Chains A and B, each alone.
Chain A
Amino acid sequence: DVKVTQSSRYLVKRTGEKVFLECVQDMDHENMFWYRQDPGLGLRLIYFSYDVKMKEKGDIPEGYSVSREKKERFSLILESASTNQTSMYLCASSFLGAGYGYTFGSGTRLTVV
């Protein structure tokens, strides 16, 4: 069964900490995405990547960075966590070309205190 795996289901971090959220896919997908999901705001795209070492800003990149050193792994980095980054974070992947569907991970619920 094909999978997108997010390393943590729940995380609690302190304000100002550097936070790493990891995502790994086993489907040889070119595209990988990070979304955050908040009540009333829906899913919003933070960053995406269409190839190793390539990245593109989404709708809300401020306060985040990403890293893609290997095709299967896409990391989201919160440089200095703040309470307004408390959210559900969802990773997704797809083949290059818009005719393919997306596969999502199970999500990471991050709480910043």
Chain B
Amino acid sequence: KQEVTQIPAALSVPEGENLVLNCSFTDSAIYNLQWFRQDPGKGLTSLLLIQSSQREQTSGRLNASLDKSSGRSTLYIAASQPGDSATYLCAVIKTGANNLFFGTGTRLTVIP
């Protein structure tokens, strides 16, 4: 079964700092990987989708990379802001499957 791990579970950084969130998965046979953001008590907001044939995607201050062979993805956030404070979740779709496998998330706090 696909297992997805996110380290660290929680992270606090001062405003303006660049940071990296990590995601690892056990089965490299994936279709794609998606990063989400979740604010407390709210639903999930999609941030970036990386297809299995791609190595990275960028949106504004966010950059996500994917290394299928090593089973790893990183989400890079540049010049962090207090509004970036949220839980960040990565999820993968296994080849041949139809549903997402989620990590347990990294709770990010950006201190003004």
B51 CB contact (under 8 Å) in A99, A103, A105:
A99
CB atoms of A98 and B98 under 8 A apart: yes
CB atoms of A104 and B36 under 8 A apart: yes
CB atoms of B99 and A33 under 8 A apart: yes
* A contact residues around B105 at 8 Å (CB): 42
Main secondary structure of the interface of B (DSSP, over half): strand
Q: With an 8 A cutoff between CB atoms, is B95 at the interface? A: yes
A-B contact number at CB 8 A: 57
Interface residues on B, range: 20 to 34
The residue of chain B having its C-beta at the shortest distance from the C-beta of A90 within the complex is: B43
CB atoms of B102 and A98 under 8 A apart: no
CB atoms of B41 and A99 under 8 A apart: no
CB atoms of B99 and A99 under 8 A apart: no
Since A104-B36, A107-B42 are in contact, a sample of 16 more A-B pairs with Cβ atoms closer than 8 Å, ordered by chain A residue number, is A6-B43, A33-B99, A42-B105, A43-B102, A45-B99, A45-B100, A48-B98, A50-B98, A56-B98, A98-B32, A98-B93, A101-B46, A102-B34, A102-B91, A102-B100, A109-B41
